[in-house]
Amino acid sequence: MRADLRSSMSADAPVIPGGSSVSPFQEPGLLVRVAPFAVGAVLAEASLALPPGPQSSWAVIASGVLLLAVAVAFPLPWSRLPAWLPVVVPLAYTGSVLALILAAGTTSGVGVVILIPLVWTALFHRRWESACIVAAVVAVEVIISLTPVVVAGAVITRRVLLWALLGTLISVATHGLRDRITRSQAERDRLQSQLRELTVMEDRERIADVLRGEVVQQVFAAGLTLQGTADLTADAQVRRRIDAIVEDLDRVVRMVRGAVFDLGHPPRLDGLRQQVVALCSGLSPVPEIGFSGEADAAIPPEAQVQIVDLLRGTLELIGRECVPGRIEIGAGDESCLVVIDAAPRGHPDDEPAFEPDVSALLERVTRFGGRADIETIPGGIRFEWRLPLGRPARRAARSADQPAAGMG
């Protein structure tokens, strides 16, 4: 589970600007990112209509054709194209800006739009692609410097418009980048919190398994042996001391079991887990109780009532001759399995010397739509029920609850 979480962290994390291996033309929210850059490019082209007008028609055509090529490149299937090809898009726009400057004149004020491909690449492309654009911008500036200067007298409007547009573009792009960084940090913190929680849960499950599988079983076996030993002596004082020790061991088992439950997610106060624990808390020695699956969530309330009722009847039936040592309740998608292992009083290795009358219990399990098996196992007897959890079983539970209330 922790490995899956780590892989989801690397797969779902937002793309970091300047270091992404994914095409910047396929990331989520592409339209929002492209919009300010597209508006800037279109307005720069439209500014050619301002006085004194374009000086070269071929440069106007070249700028428009390159800008159109940039627009057409966005919907391309970039996942099937070479990884180096995305850098061609900002390079093409850089060429469009060069033609635009040559069309309007080197002193016309449109030169500021050369920063548009530079800002775009710095935000959304890889470092080597930014280096390519920087080299292209330097080449454009060299070409412009070698072009004869034509003094334009009416370029104030264009310069004000384009500088305002560039300032807006940089502000929008920067705030968008900050928002992406904030979301990325929040997502990282959330995933790290989940990873820490999973680590703690794994440690808790490991400790709970050790306590439940080793400590509780050994303490329970010791208490059962002491109870059998008490029957071998006629000394009342010795028997009282043994009974006191057994009670102490029962208290230890309850404390350990409470610690095991506290290690996991706290169970519902009215759930099956708490009902079973409360039902078994008065037994001595306290049996080992185990749950598998989402017992509280997967088993409907009416079925939980029936299970607790059947469990109470079984414990009353076997309590006179045997000691319940282990109770396992497993909840699956379609059924619930309940297993009760009981050992004869005296010594856990003795063979059971009684045959309980289980006809009433079998009748109730059958009426609920389930199946019951009772078998002799080494050192005791095992009761096993399998109860369906589907809709028919829930209807059967509702009809069976009323007559079953007075049984057991």
At 316-343, the pLDDT tens digits run: 877 767 788 888 888 877 788 888 888 8
Is 373 contained in some domain?
Answer: yes
By the 8 A CB rule, do 170 and 125 touch? no
- DSSP 3-state assignment of 231? coil
Total domain count for the chain? 2
In a domain, 302, yes or no: yes
Which stretches of 85-155 are assigned E, i.e. beta strand? none
Instruction: Note the pLDDT of residue 20.
Output: 44
Beta bridge partners of 377: 380
Residue 225 lies in a domain: no
- Residue 163 covered by a domain: yes
DSSP annotation of 214 reads I
pLDDT confidence of residue 8:
44
User: Which of 195, 217, 250 delimits the end of a domain?
Assistant: 195
- Indicate if the alpha-carbon torsion angle 73, 76, 79, 85 is positive or negative: negative
Joined tokens for residue 283? 């037994």
> Which pLDDT belongs to residue 408?
31
Domain boundary among 195, 214, 235: 195
Question: Does residue 51 share a domain with residue 160?
Answer: yes
Residues of the chain with pLDDT under 70: 1-22, 148-160, 163, 167, 212-213, 257-270, 293, 320, 345-357, 390-408
Q: What range defines the domain where residue 330 resides?
A: 271-408
Residues 156 and 9 in one domain: yes
What is the structure's pLDDT at 228? 78
Residues 189, 279 within the same domain: no
- 285 and 187 both lie in a single domain: no
Indicate whether 238 belongs to any domain: no
Q: Is 103 among the domain residues? A: yes
- Structural domain contains residue 119: yes
For 27, phi then psi, to 5°, come to -75, 155
Q: What is the CATH number of the domain that holds 316?
A: 3.30.565.10
Residue (of 334, 331, 266) closest to 304 by Cα position: 331
Whether 180 and 290 share a structural domain:
no
Specify if 226 maps to a domain: no
Residue 94 in contact with residue 136, Cβ under 8 Å? yes
The pLDDT score that the predictor gives to residue 2 is: 43
**SS3 string of 20-56?**
CCCCCCCCCCHHHHHHHHHHHHHHHHHHHHCCCCCCC
Do 169 and 24 fall into the same domain? Answer: yes
Residues 146 and 275 in one domain: no
What pLDDT was estimated at residue 92?
93
| Pair (49, 191) in one structural domain | yes
Exposure string over 264-298, b if 16+ CB within 10 A, otherwise e: eeebeeebbbebbbebbeeebbbbbbebeeebbeb
Helix axes 236-263, 216-230, angle to 10 degrees: 160
Query: Do 185 and 40 fall into the same domain?
Result: yes
With contact defined as beta carbons under 8 Å apart, do 8 and 119 qualify?
no
- Cis? peptide before 301, omega within 30° of 0: no
Closest by CA position to 41, among listed 103, 117, 102: 117
Q: What is the DSSP letter of 126?
A: B
Helix (H, G, I), strand (E, B) or coil at 289: strand
pLDDT digit string (tens) for 7-40?
Answer: 444 433 334 344 445 678 877 778 878 888 888 8
| Residue finishing a domain among 152, 170, 195 | 195
DSSP string, 315-333: HHHHTTTEEEEEEEEEE-S
SS3 137: helix
220 exposure class (CB count in 10 Å sphere: 0-12, 13-18, 19+): buried
